[in-house]
Amino acid sequence: MQPRDYGLWAEQLVNSAAGDVDAIGTVAGLREFLASLDQPPGRVSAADVTATNRLREELGAVFHAGDGEARVAMVRAAVATLDVRFEVTEHDGTPHLHLARAGAGAATFLRTAAYFGLAALLAEGFADRLGVCAAPGCERVFIDTSRNGMRRFCGPTHAARVNVREHRRRRQAGAT
């Protein structure tokens, strides 16, 4: 993991609410979510589920923020409340950084990791690269780490669908 990779956890957390089923609405769901991040679930309680839901709304607001400046202010305020522990590991042969969970519950750990990652992204100049999908009705969010920074959609499916629609509209406009 690079520090900013933890920012993707924030993205995944917010998007876990976007499907038909709330992926982290139960203790089992939250355990599964942690496993999907390659984290041992450890201790997960009903209180963690409630707190993670709150965290998800908090993080959603960061993605919906009007501009990069507002976003930096939000992340700065949240970061001031964190108790961050990290370690240098070499489990894959190269030294890199991992956040240490120590005794933290699931929600606290996710909050620390998400804001740590967002802070790293902001520090690397990505404050204006967090966004909400432009497809009608889609609430999914994304972090645009592309070179040109022109990303507008949550993924290729929505990009393709909207592009087809826009193309059709242009063609119709041309025909009349």
- Going by C-beta distance under 8 Å and a sequence separation of 6 or more, which residues neighbour residue 149? 128, 129
Write down the least CB distance from residue 138 to Zn ion, Å: 3
- The C-alpha angle with vertex 155 and arms to 154 and 161, in degrees rounded to 5, equals 100
- The single-letter DSSP state of residue 118 is H
Q: What angle do CA 94, 97, 33 make, to 5 degrees?
A: 110
Q: Between residues 1 and 79, which has the closer beta carbon with respect to Zn ion?
A: 1
Q: Which is nearer to Zn ion, 15 or 108 (CB)?
A: 15
The answer to whether 7 touches 1, Cβ cutoff 8 Å, is no
Q: Give the residue with the Cβ less far from Zn ion, 66 or 93.
A: 93
Interface contacts to Zn ion, rule CB under 5 A:
133, 135, 138, 140, 154, 158
Helices and strands in the chain: count of H runs, count of E runs: 6, 4
> CB of 77: closest distance to Zn ion in angstroms?
28
CA distance 112 to 119: 10
C-beta of 35: minimal distance to Zn ion in Å?
Answer: 16
| Minimum separation from the CB atom of position 78 to Zn ion (A) | 24
Query: In this complex, which beta carbon is closest to Zn ion, that of residue 110 or of residue 133?
Result: 133
